[in-house]
Structure 1
Amino acid sequence: MGNDHDGRVPFRFEVIKKYPQRGPLHQYRLAAATTFTCRRCGKDKTSKLAVAIHDKWDLLLCNACYGRLLSIWEIKAGDLGDSERHAELMRLLQGLAREAEVEQARSALIARDSRFALLSSSALTMLATAEAVADGFALKMATELDWSAAIIGLCKAVELETGRLIGEPLRDAASGRDLAIDLADRDFSRMARFCKGGNPIELGAFAHFVEAVARSPRSANSPLASILRSLILRWPRSDWLFAADGFAPRVRTLTRQYRNPAAHTTLLTEAEYRSCAEAVQGADGILWKLLAAVEPTRR
């Protein structure tokens, strides 16, 4: 019998056709229906089709799980723009966990740390979905593709909270203001378009704007910079937003080390998911730093 850890086919599997590899997934047609345990859903399946992860025959997938993971891979390897790719991955992520599992994860997060209850419903749901997906996959020996989708969910929660806590107050305060100077400035135009009714901006654009406000000499003439300064007068712990080791560097690490690789063809592991979760919602996570930074003056 061949060794099922080194890519050789075990004796009971008689391969008659090998299909083109799709990322880490390789599908095989067998001469006869053969029973095996799917390492993703945990069910025993009898089929003439089997899919090996990284050609390891001790990591077989059933055809149903192959279809779901292939969808994730095709999005990651496709030619969609970043925002469209993130949206598609989020749609798939939300289909990876049942509603009851998400609710259970939501309750567990709040029980673990009461600060989770301070988050918006949409951000908390995103975190709970990522948590439910990750916990389920950890028990079912998931592939790196699943961890990538869960990492996207963690990063999306930070983006949602940044939009709620910084973007929306800034947009409201800028209502009716003349932003022509900002609209013409490369460092401020993206935020200015959002404040004028444009689409929500992504996490990296938030970081770029905050850093430009703090570093660019042109911020002295920026209406948006002036409006933001007026807002933070009521936020006594807002210095973190503009610090050299504050919001922008933390977001840059989050996007470069986790979100961007997860959205493209890099395969991320459980260890990287856990590391990302610590950066997002650990004891000193970016979410808690963000909440503290925008908390108004305590009376």
Structure 2
Amino acid sequence: MKPVSFEIEKVYPPRGPLQQYRLLQSAAFNCFRCGQSKKSKLATVYREDWSRRLCNGCYGRLLSIHEVKAGTAPEDERADALASVLLGLVSKDEIAQAERLLRVSERRAELLSPEAIRFISTSEHVSKHLASQPELEWSPAVIGLCKSVELEAVRLLLRPLVSHLDGADLTVDRADKDYGRVAAFCADPTRRPPELGAIIHFLRTLANSKQRRQQSVLLQGFLTMVSSWSGSHWVLDENGLAAFLNVLTNDYRNPAAHTTELGHAEYARCRDLVLGADGGLWKLLVSTVRHRS
């Protein structure tokens, strides 16, 4: 309910959970998201609760999240856009400090790529600030965790496959509807790497199609390469890596990229799936280590 002391001059169209008003006189308030004290004629209210007013900076950040999620772009594009929003939520100094904290607290993080560490540490940093307002939109933080897995899957699975198949004729494989994206990347690694969905289709086809396993240069090359890995069973088992990536994509990344609002509970479950004691990201790291004979 609007406080009686506020005289409204103009009401702007709502933007998702955000509503803006222009007041006749400037009013002081504390931004409920960042806690800073502000004074303005423009009042931005979250979910019609006047005790939850936002400063212009926090309004812009939440609006950018809403506009991405409400858009019509494919999930992969929206996920990338939200990943960019996530990195823009904190300063370079804050990201650097978060990365140092992650490396100190989690020794396994040293095995990750710098890019994956940046997304994880930024998600963790943002989550700490969101914890005081758990009902706020947590989608960018969730996307950061998903993006770290995607980056590592490309680094640990696909880039070694590019080298393994160097010079191979992948013309037929590039036309396949289930793993054509992976084949195209192996043929031309300068192009955009496949996203999680394409990697899942590739792994599931490998597990379920005996005929294509026998005929495909791409699939045969991957099987040969993986055979020397200590965790090849988990990588190749449909209930292993493919199942982990499928849950991550369907339960977290895709909802985060749509209009579904994710909260603290969803972030906590996603974090446990990715970074928990039995997290899929750690399994990916240990499963792709070359066996020493």
Q: Taking structure 2 as the reference length, what is the TM-score of the superposition?
A: 0.94
* Matched residue, 1:57: 50
Q: CA deviation at 1:284?
A: 1.0
Gap runs ≥5 in structure 1: 1-7
- The answer to whether residue 146 in structure 2 is matched with residue 155 in structure 1 is yes
Which residue does the alignment assign to 2:173? 182
Q: Which amino acid counterpart does residue 199 of structure 2 have in structure 1? A: F
User: C-alpha separation between the residues in 1 aligned to 2:101 and 2:181?
Assistant: 37
Offset at 1:100?
2.0
Q: Which range is displaced more, 75-84 or 243-252?
A: 75-84
In structure 2, the CA distance between the partners of 1:246 and 1:28, relative to structure 1 (3 Å rule), is same
1:105 is matched with 98
1:243 corresponds to: 237
Q: 2: CA distance between counterparts of 1:28 and 1:183?
A: 53
Report deviation, 1:143: 5.8
Question: Is the contact between residue 179 and residue 198 of structure 2 (CA under 8 Å) also seen in structure 1?
Answer: no
Distance 1:275 1:30 in 2: 41
Structure 1: which amino acid aligns with 2:230?
P
Instruction: State the match for 1:173 in structure 2.
Output: 164
Match 1:283 to one of 242, 259, 277 = 277
**Counterparts of 2:233 and 2:9 in 1: how far apart (Å)?**
64
Using the alignment, how far apart are the partners of 1:191 and 1:230 within structure 2?
16
- Aligned match of 2:15: 22
- Displaced runs of 4 or more, over 6 A: none
Matched residue type, 2:182 = M
Please state if 1:132 is matched with 2:100. no
Partner in structure 2 of residue 267 of structure 1: 261
Alignment of 1:197-276 (within 5 A): 197=188, 198-217=191-210, 218-276=212-270
CA contact (8 A) 2:46 2:54 kept: yes
Equivalents in 2 of 1:233, 1:64: separation in Å? 51
Return 101-110 or 257-266, whichever deviates more.
Answer: 101-110
| Amino acid aligned to 1:75 | V
Give me the whole-angstrom Cα distance separating, in 2, the residues matched to 1:190 and 1:110: 33
Structure 2 residues without counterparts, runs of 5 or longer:
none
Partner of 2:291: 297
Distance 1:34 1:12 in 2: 10
Contact (CA 8 Å) 2:146, 2:253: kept in 1 or not? yes
Give the superposed CA RMSD. 1.6
The offset of 1:142, in angstroms, is 6.7
